[in-house]
Amino acid sequence: MNLAHLTATQLLEQLEAKAITPQEIAQASLKQIREIDPTVHAWEFVDEEVIQAQLTKISTYAQTDYPLYAIPIGVKDIYNTYDMPTQMGSPIWQDFTPGNDARMVHYLRRSGALMLGKTVTAEFAVHYQDKTRNPHDLLRSPGTSSSGSCVAVATGMVPVALGSQTAGSISRPASYCGIYGFKPTFGVLPRIGVLKTTDSLDTLGFFARSVEDLVLIFEASRVRGENYEYVHHHIDNYHTAPEKKFRIGIVKHPKWDLASDAAKAAFEQWCCTLQSPRLEIEEAVLPVFCDTIHTTHQCIYDKSLAYYFKDEYAQHTLMSPIFYNIIQEGNKITKEQYQEALEKQSRETVAFNDWIESYDILLTLATADEAPIGLTTPDIPDANIIWTYLGLPTATIPVLKGKNGLPIGISVVAGKYRDKLLLDFLTYLKTLNLVKTVLPISPVNSKESV
């Protein structure tokens, strides 16, 4: 039995049956890292002494009391970890150790999980990433900024890894690398102790290779209780309806024309397989204000980066030209323009919540095409910014192939705080055999040349 091929849910089953031990799971992950990471460069920090200290503590736990008992997790290097550096993809913060855990890391440790190490992130979780490679084609981008986390899961180095999304940083890597990504509703995963780039866009999430693992990690890492009014009402008190009919809207978003013909054809063919009495499907036309969301998002994004990274900007010799230029553009945006953009985001989020009442689920392409050639090649614009801007729960499912046989994902979107409804939909798709558990991939050398 190759433990690197097992999902977190499957590992828990083997642990419960006493067929494997926590030590064996950790060693299987470390073996994968030693063999594969020199090729794909997904990890920023892995220390066997830190891992062993955690295993010693985990060995005192009773598995029945810990839902993530001994499950190794990759942590995007923007989450604080008390026992590992948090360097945020920048030489400016090299070897910085915060001395505490991000709240979400704390929740996962409290559930018995093993924080295996820190995964590579783009510089300050923005755009610039020239290190991690796509295992499906080493000449192609793995997606930014959660590149290391996604590749670590795709290659079986860990079954689960943490990411974040301010534009498309979970959805795009998951699409390009052929695994599952999940960005819950804005704020449902606690952001305390995680690098802040914007106040109204930063959203946490994670990667996995099965639907069951998405459900498992969501429950272990989210906030809950009466202090979180909307979460308590819509998520804590959610009840699955066994025979529910799902109202599905097929979306051609404002950037649809930029998608490749192959991607659009594959998406349309897959949508034709949605045959079930429980699926009510129609084409959905997004509200007209969605046409300007990309522009408003950029205003919020650039101005926020310029504000939060003033000190780093002063050390620009250690900053990439991409990030430096974003801050320069952000400095041109006035306070009034920024406030107007935030007010627009708030109004449009409320309006979209009303519009989406007609649907349980929206489906569209997660990316415009397969992963682009070149580690720093810009992504073709897609719809991910829309879902992030509106704070909507979004899952990426690995179901399509492009013209070169490389992965393209589909975005599954629901209304705010309908995270469990979205996960129920994915679970139902699995019963229809329309989504499957993904096996790890070994790195592939491209036959193309740049």
Count of domains forming the chain = 2
Confidence of residue 447 (pLDDT cuts 50, 70, 90): low
377 and 315 within one domain: no
- Over residues 129-152, the pLDDT tens digits come to 999 999 999 999 999 999 999 999
Q: Which of 76, 255, 416, 420 is catalytic?
A: 76
Residue 336 pLDDT exceeds 60: yes
- Report yes or no on 447 lying in a domain: no
Structure tokens at 308: 């939060």
- Report yes or no on 252 lying in a domain: no
Confidence of residue 320 (pLDDT cuts 50, 70, 90): very high
Mean pLDDT throughout 305-329?
A: 93
- Report yes or no on 355 lying in a domain: no
CB atoms within 10 A of CB 97: 13
Confidence of residue 403 (pLDDT cuts 50, 70, 90): very high
- Over residues 175-211, the pLDDT tens digits come to 999 999 999 999 999 999 999 999 999 999 999 999 9
298 and 178 within one domain: no
Q: Which of 29, 141, 149, 169 is catalytic?
A: 169
Mean pLDDT throughout 373-383?
A: 95
Q: Which of 29, 90, 111, 145 is catalytic?
A: 145
Mean pLDDT throughout 229-237?
A: 97
Give the whole-angstrom CA distance, residue 234 versus residue 358. Answer: 17
pLDDT of 446: 67
Give the whole-angstrom CA distance, residue 394 versus residue 318. Answer: 34
pLDDT of 449: 37
- Report yes or no on 314 lying in a domain: yes
* Mean pLDDT computed over every residue of the chain: 97
59 is catalytic: no
Place of tokens 């007010």: 343
105 and 16 within one domain: yes
Pick from 28-42, 158-172, 315-329: least confident: 315-329
Strands 43-45 and 114-119: antiparallel
84 and 221 within one domain: yes
Cα–Cα–Cα angle for 179, 184, 223, rounded to 5 degrees:
125
pLDDT of 316: 82
pLDDT of 450: 37
183 and 132 within one domain: yes
Give the whole-angstrom CA distance, residue 330 versus residue 126. Answer: 14
76 is catalytic: yes
| pTM for the full predicted model | 0.97
pLDDT of 159: 98
Structure tokens at 181: 């990504």
Tell me the residue range of the domain where 322 lies: 290-343
75 and 178 within one domain: yes
